[in-house]
A and B are shown apart, each in its own frame.
Chain A
């Protein structure tokens, strides 16, 4: 790295050195815009949130030092614990159901995924992903209302006893919100998994069949291992969507009835803007971030493809 002290350097080498030096320098120059954005829009809000979480503050007036009080509240307040629990229930709906059903659908349409039919299937499955979540929330709250299509259908087939205001009922509200989320995530997961199956070497399937494997064995031995990365992506994206959910819940139930469908994202917003407990909201936000990392990092590790 150091230049020779003697003057015996050839002009060519000096030139290369200067070039290398300026190259190194200009490399950083290229990074600066992105870095600045990152610092301003990610690092700074993050550190501010950590800072706010250590205060009792209403967002405008004088802040009072709180130490870890707010975190203590997050971990001891029964309502807040229930709210965090709701997010984990949603993981089942937002992640496991779409990935499970997606795997099923993907392996079923594997052979017919080409041509017009395949394109149509893909388009239909992907459609929920294109619709804004707010629109999906509104549409589903109509469908699930007491006089909505779902209940009409139940009554039409003689199951009127099951009809209920799905989103307003204490027992069905959270699962109903979950189903909306499952409907939204299903398309993305299925498309990713279909694409993933397309990349699996067909000779593996041939080999499996020659060894006498049935569809189930084929799925377990070839499809599932081959889709490891895609499943990882699906789980990562949907688990984050479940834990950080806001739009669907806000639109379809506003967190009610009671706290039945309140999720951390909604509660953070409420605490900060309606109840003006910015400190507590920040603490909950930091806890939520930690939970997301705790859930997502193991998924990343488990589904990473080993390098031969």
Chain B
């Protein structure tokens, strides 16, 4: 009998496993996964603006390849030796994937580079910075500076409580190779989209790559796409969509016209033939080798280009349809927030305030980050050496602020709209596998799917 029993087990392992499976099910299946609903951080907590002299270690989670955060941290430790930083760096896409779990963990960072904010706030993972806003008097900052960092109770962005601060406020536009520009007869930046297109055609005719743009893992052609979209319609429409306002849609005449223009440019060969195989690093390499007249990118590369192509590069804000149209450009804070479970939130906020107001810190923001340091409107922006791209991007940043033309990146609309729709659909579009109509519809459909969760 015993032998029979043994044989039964040997022959039917599934039968032997059945009780195990049942036990495992019993262990796991009792309750739904996930945390209990979080208690809302309504920002009523007491805060302190004193750093004190006790030793503090601030946990920082920042983006690799962008040395600004580390440079600021080093300078801060210089000025306040009791504070040391423990900096962990990852690629941005990795931060996007990791941020929720890292913030939910026991060792949550004090200061973290934020991918997108809405999901993190609705899951109660970010600290409400309203008390610090009051304590430090950040109302002396231009209100528009922090607008993108606010989230309302209904989960839309653009108003409500403050959940982040910028380590620099970047601006995007078009970099151009001065030597190639001269070859196609460009003496000054184009004043209209039509003029810009004439230059593209002239470059193509002269055998020069008109635009050097990446489109591999994260769609770089979304830069020129949004630059066009910004000009063809009401930028507020775009902002509402990014901020997830009720009823906002991507399927607008402006977005469609922008997509049609991108398709036209792609067919005309204005983008590299193998754009879908070029990643960001490769694009930077190609542009710095002189391959490409224009490159749509942001001021975070100013310092880099000043080092590697000193005096050879210029920058302009993408023009409108008419010469007198005001400029609109993607411009976003290099956003950092404070974890809801942070061990030293007061010190973290002290650091964020210091970044905006300390003279040395502001200089680092400009020199290392290439971006406007933000902060109180009456503080002067550190100057950059004349003739540098840095000087041009800083000037552009000031001009944009004056014209009130800053709009966030469409890529920031939801946590994964970039990976799940914009990137693959844009890759299809430029090789003729997707129509402009199909593109705007596909992006909107994915957007709605991600909102409904």
Q: Which A53-96 residues have C-beta < 8 A from chain B?
A: 55-63, 65
User: How far does the alpha carbon of A236 sit from the alpha carbon of B200 in the complex, in Å?
Assistant: 54
Chain B residues with CB under 8 Å of A270's CB are: 416, 419-420
- Any A CB within 8 A of the CB of B185: no
Residues in B neighbouring A129, C-beta threshold 8 A: none
Most buried by B among A35, A52, A168, A277: A168
Residue among B28, B36, B104, B433 with most chain A CB within 10 A = B28
Encode A248-290 as 1/0 by CB contact (under 8 A) with B: 0000001111110010000000100111111000000000000
With A1-B1, A43-B20, A275-B420 known as contacts, the answer to whether A58 contacts B277 (CB < 8 A) is no
A47/B419 contact (C-beta < 8 A), A57-B34, A63-B32 known: no
* Binary flags per residue of B14-39, CB closer than 8 Å to A gives 1, else 0: 00010011011101110011111110
Answer yes or no: B234 CB below 8 A from chain A CBs. no
Flag if B273 contacts A146 (CB, 8 Å). yes
Cβ-based interface call for A145 (8 A): yes
The yes or no answer to A170 lying at the interface (CB within 8 A) is yes
Specify which chain A residues have a CB less than 8 angstroms from the CB of B431 in the assembled complex.
Answer: 169-170, 257
Interface check B425, CB cutoff 8 A: yes
A59 adjacent to B276 (CB under 8 Å): no
The answer to whether B277 and A275 have CB atoms under 8 Å apart is no
The A-contacting residues of B in range 257-283, CB under 8 angstroms, are 273-278
Given contacts A47-B24, A258-B425, A258-B433, contact A274 B277 (CB under 8 A): no
**Interfacial residues of chain A within 147-164, with CB under 8 A of chain B in the complex:** 164
Q: For the complex, is A165 an interface residue (Cβ under 8 Å from B)? A: yes
A39 at the interface (CB under 8 A from B): yes
Q: How far is the CA of A273 from the CA of B29 in the complex (A)?
A: 22
Neighbouring B residues of A46 by C-beta, 8 Å: 24
Given A52-B33, A256-B216, A275-B415, answer yes or no on A61-B123 (Cβ-Cβ < 8 Å): yes
Give chain A residues whose Cβ lies under 8 Å from the Cβ of B12. none
A44 at the interface (CB under 8 A from B): yes
In the assembled complex, the Cα of A168 lies from the Cα of B220 at a distance in Å of: 14
Question: At the interface, yes or no: A216 with Cβ under 8 Å from chain B?
Answer: no
Q: Across the interface, which residues of B come within 8 angstroms of A52, CB to CB?
A: 33
- B423 within 8 A of partner (CB): yes
B189 contacts the other chain (CB 8 A): no
A35, A58, A61: residue with the most chain B Cβ atoms closer than 10 Å: A61
Asked if B119 is at the interface of the complex by the 8 Å CB criterion, the answer is yes
A57 with B33: CB separation less than 8 A: yes
Counting contact residues on chain B (CB < 8 A from A), the size range is: 35 or more
State the CA gap A8–B275 with chains docked (Å): 91
Asked if A51 is at the interface of the complex by the 8 Å CB criterion, the answer is yes
Using CB atoms, name the residue of chain B closest to A168.
Answer: B277
Is A167 an interface residue, CB under 8 A from the partner?
Answer: yes
Chain B residues positioned under 8 Å from A164 (CB to CB): 274
Kindly list chain A residues whose C-beta atoms are within 8 Å of the C-beta of B25: 47
Choose among A43, A48, A60, A146 the residue that contacts B277 (Cβ–Cβ < 8 A).
A146
Q: Could you say which residues of chain A place their CB within 8 Å of the CB of B450?
A: 275
- A58 lies within 8 A of B453 (CB): yes
What residues of chain A lie closer than 8 Å to B427, measured between beta carbons?
Answer: 256-258
Number of interface residues of A (CB under 8 A): 42
Cβ-neighbour of B122 out of A61, A256, A259, A262 (below 8 A): A61
Determine the residue in chain A with the shortest Cβ distance to B27: A44
Bound together, the chains give a CA A124 to CA B36 distance in angstroms of 56
B101 in contact (CB, < 8 A): yes
Q: Which of B1-58 contact A (CB under 8 A)?
A: 1-2, 17, 20-21, 23-25, 27-29, 32-38
Q: Which residue of A lies closest to B282 (CB)?
A: A145
How many whole Å from B267's CB to the nearest CB in chain A?
15
Q: In whole angstroms, how far apart are the Cα atoms of A254 and B20 in the complex?
A: 38
B420 touches A274 (CB 8 A): yes
User: Given known contacts A145-B277, A256-B424, is B21 in contact with A47 (CB within 8 Å)?
Assistant: yes
| In the complex, chain A residues whose CB is within 8 Å of the CB of B17 | 43
Q: Is B125 interfacial (CB-CB < 8 Å)?
A: yes
- Chain B residue contacts of A165, Cβ below 8 A: 273-274, 276-277
Quick check: A274 and B276 within 8 Å, CB to CB?
no
- CB of B24 within 8 A of CB of A60, answer no
Contact flag A274-B96 (CB < 8 Å), given A43-B20, A60-B101, A63-B32: yes
Does B160 count as interface, using CB distance less than 8 angstroms? no
A61 touches B34 (CB 8 A): yes
Instruction: Let me know if B416 and A58 touch, CB within 8 A.
Output: no
30 pairs from A and B in contact (CB 8 Å cutoff): A35-B20, A39-B23, A46-B24, A48-B33, A51-B28, A60-B123, A61-B34, A61-B38, A61-B122, A62-B32, A62-B36, A62-B37, A146-B274, A168-B216, A168-B275, A168-B276, A169-B274, A169-B276, A170-B431, A170-B433, A255-B424, A256-B423, A256-B424, A257-B277, A257-B427, A270-B420, A273-B98, A274-B419, A274-B420, A276-B416
The 3 tightest CB contacts between A and B, nearest first, are: A168-B277, A165-B274, A165-B277
* Interface residues in chain B, defined as those with a beta carbon under 8 Å from any beta carbon in chain A: 1-2, 17, 20-21, 23-25, 27-29, 32-38, 93, 96-98, 100-101, 104, 119, 122-123, 125, 216-217, 273-278, 415-416, 419-420, 423-425, 427-428, 431, 433-434, 450, 453
Q: A43-B17, A169-B274, A270-B419 are in contact. List 11 more A-B contacts (CB 8 A).
A: A1-B2, A60-B34, A60-B123, A61-B122, A62-B32, A63-B32, A170-B428, A170-B431, A256-B216, A257-B431, A270-B420
